[in-house]
Structure 1
């Protein structure tokens, strides 16, 4: 029986640990917090997971909350008319809803990670509650066949050097602010459709609104992404949760009044229901070298950390865990050497590269052909639907999104088919 150590108990670490456990591996999981501490702590992310990522959970029979969490069946895009917020209430220049082929779901990671951690322990896994340092891993690397690092923050990440060719940004591109709320009303345009709403405010930032399941049941997540130094970059130093929500709602009233109109009765789900911060999108070398010469393999956002503007973090974590699980099983009893580690990462990068390319493109001011595409989706439902389903499989954007000629040809084809 092969012994594997997983450091970090997030989406990827837990999914991978539970997957290995189900295949008969002897797995040790290290977490810096207990399940109860996670459950009663602060929210960790926004985690809207689309069909492909959810399927990896279903494959391992880990979709414990699927019947309780809202089924998100659409993805809407609104664009504020440039400059309109300076002259009274902001107006929408674009507003449409694309339909997802398979539903998406957002389960508060406090619910999921705590539940999965308890399941791992109940199934006989060794759970170590301890914040790991490089020195700890140096010791453990001698007693385990493989050490996987999926703790995306702290000193362990420093073992994995930045890949400058794949990391165009060296500074954070957005200031992030999240609020989990009860009391949000439906969008009057589509009152019966659960949907993620992407509100783009040109030159200012973005507001995402998504239905979720949290510790206290059905909720909605309000998530601002502000361009650094701009009016949305206002949460630094805000410690009081009520002040955080008040600031969130005030910015909604000014920049996205159509969303604010349904948020007038919004209340925080709990005192831990807010989060703010920023980080630079970074791709890193997947192999970490320990002082004693041992090697460790980085997992998910340890090695590919994208800005959450495209909502891909937990999706990528799930896809990474699935790819790594398959590679470990296929390797059977051979040594987990550096060549295997790099090949295993490359298997994940085959999908992750599309996420990184798309996310980095969305962080930049949109070129004219993208504005045309987003505008056309308001008149052509197939365009709206295709864009929405790109959140599930970002590889499709290669076919019509980046190249103005491909975009033009695609829009001409859809316009002709629709008789527009």
Structure 2
């Protein structure tokens, strides 16, 4: 039986661990927190998983909360104009519904499931020196912990990383009591674009205290939304969130007047630079480790792809490991496994980096046209599930014009 160590207990690490476990591998997961500590801690992310990523969970029987979590059936876009009025407002239907499950629930539940099924969980911080030893005692070591010392083993790939600094300041609040959007009678992620300022995302979700909504500001650094860095009090964090909504997205504020935080750990703030790293880490003793998900491809959450990327990465790595059989996990295997993941991740990175920059005229035309042409709105929405499709109509002005002409004439 092949022995595999996974360092990190997030979406990718645990999905991969449970998948390998179900195929008879001897898997150890190392994490710095127990399941209870995760469940009782602060929120971890703003995850919204689309149909393809959810399918990877279903294939492994890990969709434990599918019947409880709100079904997100659309993506809506609003754009703020002069005097904070909406100049664009539309919603596109998803072909398959999305869902957002608070990672405190999911990661705690998956970690407990892994242990109940006989997997070994080691709760301990891991240093590079530890991995040097483990690389000699396990057949394969995977690093799925996207923060801390271990990430430094994976050098930045400058050719795939156009940004050296954070492009957004992030602020998250999980709330109860948000009113419905009167424009439609189904749950949708709402993307509110405030040109030159940032973005507000509103995401229906499931949290530790039931159904909720996530209010998520992405602010251009140094701008009016970049005010959460020193805020420690959750109530003050929410007060600032609502004040900024009242100023920049009053239509969202109108339905948020009575909201309350879901729990004491319901806020999060921070920032990080988007980066693609080299996938293979080299240890002092000569051993090699493979980076997983956001260890090697970390995008800004502006396109909501983090947990989706993680699920897709785990699915690719699982398939690659199973197909490899008893052959050694050498450098060629590690590189080719990452390259298979990059086939999809490259499209996410290109799209995300494009959305962080001021939109060119043809993109503004596309966003505006979606308000008049439902097929355009629907194609935008389903690009969240399949970002590779943006290559066909979004980036190039001629392709965009041709696509709009075809929809108009059709």
Shorter-chain TM-score: which interval? over 0.9
Alpha-carbon distance, 1:212 to partner: 0.2
Counterpart in the other structure of 1:264: 257
The residue aligned with 1:400 is 393
Q: Deviations over 1:100-121 (max 9, x none)?
A: 0000000000000000000000
Partner of 1:344: 337
Distance in 1, Cα, partners of 2:183 & 2:154: 47
Aligned position for 2:210: 217
2:241 match: 248
CA deviation vs aligned residue, 1:37-79 (integer Å, no higher than 9, x gap): 0000000000000000000000000000000000000100000
C-alpha distance in 2 between matches for 1:300 and 1:186: 34
Please state how far the C-alpha of 1:259 moved relative to its aligned partner.
0.4
Q: Deviations over 1:337-391 (max 9, x none)?
A: 0111000000000000000000000000000000000000000000000000000
User: What is residue 89 of structure 2 aligned with on the other side?
Assistant: 95
CA distance in 2, matches of 1:293, 1:307: 33
**Structure 1 spans left out of the alignment, 5+ residues:** none
| Corresponding residue of 2:11 | 11
2:371 is the counterpart of 1:375: no
Q: CA deviation at 1:249?
A: 0.3
Superposed CA deviations along residues 203-260 of structure 1, whole A, max 9, x for unmatched, are 0000000100000000000000000000000101100000000000000000000000
What CA deviation, in whole Å up to 9, does each residue of 1:252-283 have, x standing for no partner? 00000000000001100011000000000000
Distance 1:317 1:8 in 2: 12
Matched, 1:77 2:70: no
Inter-partner Cα distance in structure 1 for 2:99 and 2:399: 31
Q: Which of 111, 126, 150 does residue 120 from structure 2 map onto?
A: 126
* In 2: Cα distance, 1:369 partner to 1:238 partner: 38
Where does residue 147 of structure 2 map in the other structure?
Answer: 153
* Residues 96-111 of structure 1 aligned to structure 2 (within 5 Å): 96-111=90-105
Q: Distance in 1 between matches of 2:95 and 2:125?
A: 41
Alpha-carbon distance, 1:295 to partner: 0.3
Other-structure match for 1:197: 190
Counterpart CA distance in 2 for 1:126 and 1:233 is 42
Distance 1:250 1:159 in 2: 41
Residue 177 of structure 1 aligns with which residue? Answer: 171
Q: Distance in 2 between matches of 1:414 and 1:155?
A: 50
Partner of 1:36: 36
Aligned residue in 1 for 2:109: 115
CA distance in 1, matches of 2:214, 2:27: 34
The normalised TM-score by structure 2 is 1.00
SS for the counterpart of 2:136 is: coil
Instruction: Tell me what 2:157 maps to.
Output: 163
TM-score by length of 1: 0.97
Residue of structure 2 aligned with 1:294, choices 283, 287, 297: 287
How much has 1:131 moved relative to structure 2? 1.0
CA distance in 2, matches of 1:132, 1:42: 21
1:97 CA drift (Å): 0.3
Matched, 1:309 2:317: no
| 2:24 matched residue in structure 1 | 24
Distance 1:222 1:67 in 2: 23
SS of the residue corresponding to residue 191 of structure 2 reads strand
1:132-174 per-residue CA deviation (whole Å, 9 max, x = no partner) reads 1111111111100000000000000000000000000000000
Root mean square deviation of aligned Cα: 0.4
Instruction: Return the offset for 1:30.
Output: 0.5
| SS of corresponding position for 2:218 | strand
CA–CA distance in 2 between the matches of 1:64 and 1:132?
29
